[in-house]
């Protein structure tokens, strides 16, 4: 696949002297869904804002569809639709008027049928004559998406699309995103949640403290991140592990009341069933079982400790 967005050696130092992006390189393939994953303040919004032309870069260059975003900003920006992180809408503007406005900004002739289509797709058609101040938060977010789509962009940026959105709407949104991808739109979204990246992205980029730590196929990454721990609390302390359990390389807690089993959640076999069978056979009684996945923080830590390999 050809790359549609090239970010080369981009750094951003804000007026206060804060370095929000540090020598970022990123190539986004045409037609993919890329999730940018990172904690608060990582620089996700800054990166998106630079590509979209909202923030001036300090050094480096960005091109969209082969057009430099500064020298050839008209061509570059025409390809982009942006759904910002913060809801920012004219309160007294009617939904449909707002869409007409946005479409006009992109120099596109009026196309009522297309706008109707966009609104229907986002279940907003009934609200077309409502003022945005009369809408719920979730509806406002959909209005932002509709605005981003109303000039038929080839690249769509969604900055934290699932912030403040309920499960139902999130699913609908993912559905819209998948449809768009099927139509050939390239999609870049930011998120704090691995689950979200896992659910819809083709590739995942991890960004922290203004640096891109890695960009990887989702499947590879999920496998790498799929590391889980199961904590098994026992009814009675277990002095020593029976030999039959040796193959599980269990860890024991100090008080001997807890066993910890590590496994890969995405592996062919997790070994959980046979572990339980063997525990049962050894006559070990369980009080409780609890599993936890490696958190984003764990992954960051492991990535930072593990840089050479991580920077693939």
Ligand X SMILES: Nc1ncnc2c1ncn2[C@@H]1O[C@H](COP(=O)(O)OP(=O)(O)OP(=O)(O)O)[C@@H](O)[C@H]1O
Residues 66-105 that bind Mg ion (CB under 5 A): 85
The angle at the Cα of 20, spanning 81 to 26, to the nearest 5 degrees, equals 55
- Tell me whether residue 163 or residue 222 sits nearer to Mg ion (CB atom): 163
Binding-residue pattern over the window 14 to 33 for other proteins, x denoting contact by CB under 8 A = xx------------------
252 lines the binding site for other proteins (CB under 8 A): no
Q: Of 88-96, 202-210, 219-227, 283-291, which part binds other proteins (CB under 8 A)? A: 88-96
d(CA 145, CA 99): 10
Quote the least distance from Cβ 299 to ligand X, whole Å. Answer: 16
* 144 backbone dihedrals φ, ψ, rounded to 5°: -60, -40
Q: How far apart are CA 67 and CA 283, in angstroms?
A: 69
Pairing between β-strand 33-37 and β-strand 203-208 as defined by DSSP bridges: parallel
Stretch that binds Mg ion, among 44-52, 75-83, 206-214, 253-261 (CB under 5 A): 44-52
Helices and strands (DSSP H and E) totals, the chain:
11, 14
Query: What is the rounded (10 degree) CA torsion for 289, 293, 298, 299?
Result: 160
Q: Does 80 bind other proteins (CB under 8 A)?
A: yes
Tell which one of 17, 86, 195, 297 touches other proteins (CB under 8 A): 86
Please pick, from the candidates 29, 68, 97, 229, the single residue that binds other proteins as defined by CB under 8 A. 97
Output 49 or 186, the one with its CB closest to other proteins.
Answer: 49
In the block, which residue shows the tokens 């896992």?
A: 198
Min dist. Cβ of residue 180 to ligand X (A): 22
> Is-contact 299 262, C-beta < 8 A?
no
CB nearer to Mg ion: pick between 196 and 259: 196
Cβ neighbours of residue 134 under 8 Å, at least 6 residues apart?
Answer: none
Binding span for Mg ion by CB under 5 A among 37-45, 222-230, 238-246, 253-261: 37-45
From the list 32-40, 82-90, 214-222, 223-231, the region that binds other proteins by CB under 8 A is 82-90
Q: In the numeric block, which tokens belong to residue 114? A: 């297309």
Asked if residue 208 lies in contact with residue 42, where contact means CB atoms within 8 angstroms, the answer is yes
Cα distance between residue 200 and residue 182, in whole Å: 12
In the complex, least distance from residue 219 CB atom to ligand X, rounded to whole angstroms = 24
Site membership for Mg ion, residue 45 (CB under 5 A): yes
Minimum Å gap between C-beta 207 and ligand X is: 7
- Examine residue 47 and tell whether it contacts other proteins (CB under 8 A): no
With H, G, I as helix, E, B as strand and everything else as coil, classify residue 106: coil
Does 164 sit near other proteins (CB under 8 A)?
A: no
Helix (H) or strand (E) holding 141: helix 137-149
Separation between Cα atoms, residue 302 and residue 312, nearest integer Å: 14
Closest approach, Cβ 188 to other proteins, in A, equals 14
Interacting residues with other proteins (CB under 8 A):
14-15, 49, 52-56, 73-78, 80, 82, 84, 86, 88-93, 97, 100-109, 147
């Amino acid at each position: 696949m050809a790359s549609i967005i090239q970010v080369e050696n981009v750094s951003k130092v804000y007026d206060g002297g804060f370095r929000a992006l540090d020598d970022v390189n990123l190539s986004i393939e045409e037609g993919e869904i890329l999730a940018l994953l990172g904690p608060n303040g990582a620089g996700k919004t800054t990166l998106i804002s630079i590509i979209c032309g909202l923030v001036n870069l300090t050094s480096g260059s960005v091109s969209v569809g082969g057009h430099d975003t500064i020298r050839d900003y008209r061509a570059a920006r025409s390809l982009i639709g942006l759904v910002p992180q913060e809801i920012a809408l004219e309160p007294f503007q009617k939904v449909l008027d707002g869409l007409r406005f946005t479409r006009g900004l992109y120099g596109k002739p009026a196309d009522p049928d297309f706008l109707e289509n966009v609104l229907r797709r986002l279940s907003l058609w009934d609200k077309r004559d409502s003022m945005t101040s009369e809408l719920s938060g979730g509806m406002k977010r959909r209005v932002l998406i509709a605005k981003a789509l109303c000039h038929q962009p080839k690249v769509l940026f969604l900055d934290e699309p699932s912030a403040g959105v309920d499960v139902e709407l999130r699913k609908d949104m993912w559905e819209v995103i998948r449809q768009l991808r099927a139509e050939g739109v390239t999609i870049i979204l930011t998120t704090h949640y691995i689950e979200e990246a896992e659910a819809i992205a083709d590739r995942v980029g991890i960004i922290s403290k203004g640096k891109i730590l890695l960009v990887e196929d989702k499947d590879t990454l999920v496998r790498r991140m799929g590391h889980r721990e199961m904590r098994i609390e026992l009814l009675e302390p277990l002095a020593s592990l029976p030999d039959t359990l040796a193959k599980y390389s269990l860890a024991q807690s100090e008080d001997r009341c807890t066993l910890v089993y590590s496994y890969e959640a995405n592996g062919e076999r997790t070994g959980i069933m046979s572990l339980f069978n063997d525990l049962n056979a050894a006559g070990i009684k369980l009080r409780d079982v609890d599993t936890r996945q490696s958190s984003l923080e764990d992954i960051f830590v492991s990535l930072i400790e593990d840089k050479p390999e991580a920077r693939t």
